[in-house]
Amino acid sequence: MNCRASWLKQAKVKELLSRHTTFKIGGPAEFWFEPKNPAELSRLIKIAGNKNIPFFVIGAGSNILAPDSGLKGIVIRLNKDYFKKTEFRKGKIFCGAGVMLGRLLSCARNFGLGGAEFLSGIPGTVGGALTMNAGVNESVEVSGCQSVREKTKQKTKSIGDLVESVLVMDYDGGISRLRKSGLEFSYRSSNLSNYIILSAVLKLTKKSKEEISADIAQYLARRRQTQDITLPSAGCIFKNPPNQSSGRLIDLCGLKGVSLGGAVISTKHANFILNKGKADARDVLGLIDLVRKKVKKKFGIKLETEIKIWP
């Protein structure tokens, strides 16, 4: 049996991406593959490279809009045990790319390690969170300013702040460890998007379990209070422009509640698009386009999507 046949045998064919995205949107992936370990992943990446087969890596699918027509190529999910390990040593946590952030937080709490509580309620994996430098963006109201442009200042807390090193695979299947000095994190972006993240070492700080629990509860409560988490979505659709909130700008355009097909702009947080049940990617793209046009016209600001629109 040649190598290609061997991975093909393990891959699922025509796996619906709507089953793997929090938006519950997306047609079939030609192949769906969950490697058991880095060696298996490396073999696959090399074959894909040699045969010019496109591949896509998916985490928890919480920041992706997948096309209705599906994807040609291989969608890879690091979901097997090897990629879901966590280990604590000397205030550091060694975690696989496939670990869900919620699990990371509860393990850290059990070890009395804090500092990552701001990630509470983000429905992502460590790998996905690192790639997009997930975090919270705490807007601080600036009093006395009249212009919408000056109304808020933003304080961000992102997973990149916690990173010591990341083990990555390049697109030739080679593995290397990137230390802090080689890592670049900025608002919802990193230089890790050119790699497949295998695992990471995060540095946390000693904190009592009670204090960690209280902070997690506070972050979750704030999320429940301000964000629409009752229907499928991909979280915030647009990045915030500097010192601005996309939610506020979209709200000021009067777009809350506007719907297209099965998709609707949340009435609770205008930077959320919800799937009312039967939305497809076309509906969401239509709303994205409408929002961009209205915000550009009213404020002269070009919104940039935070979600990844595949392919």
Q: Which residues bind ligand EPU (CB under 6 A)?
A: 136-139, 152, 226, 235-236, 239-240, 245-248, 251, 269-271, 306
Question: Which is nearer to ligand EPU, 48 or 263 (by Cβ)?
Answer: 263
Beta strands 189-190 and 196-203: pairing type?
unpaired
Question: Which is nearer to ligand EPU, 15 or 215 (by Cβ)?
Answer: 215
Min dist CB 275 to ligand EPU, Å, is 15
Cβ-in-10-Å burial (0-12, 13-18, 19+) of 68 comes to middle
CA neighbours closer than 13 Å in the CB half-sphere of residue 141: 4
Min dist CB 156 to ligand EPU, Å, is 7
- Planar angle of CA 137, 143, 149, nearest 5 degrees: 60
Query: What tokens does 161 get?
Result: 């702040």
Min dist CB 157 to ligand EPU, Å, is 8
Cβ partners under 8 Å of residue 50, min gap 6? none
Please state, as a whole number, how many other Cβ atoms lie within 10 Å of the Cβ of residue 225: 8
- Rounded Cα–Cα distance for residues 234 and 265 (Å): 12
- Rounded Cα–Cα distance for residues 190 and 169 (Å): 15
- Rounded Cα–Cα distance for residues 153 and 215 (Å): 22
- DSSP summary character for residue 48: H
Give me the sheet containing 71-77, strands edge to edge.
12-16, 28-33, 71-77, 55-58
Question: Which is nearer to ligand EPU, 77 or 269 (by Cβ)?
Answer: 269
Q: In which residue are the tokens 């629109």 written?
A: 309
Q: In which residue are the tokens 């096309």 written?
A: 67
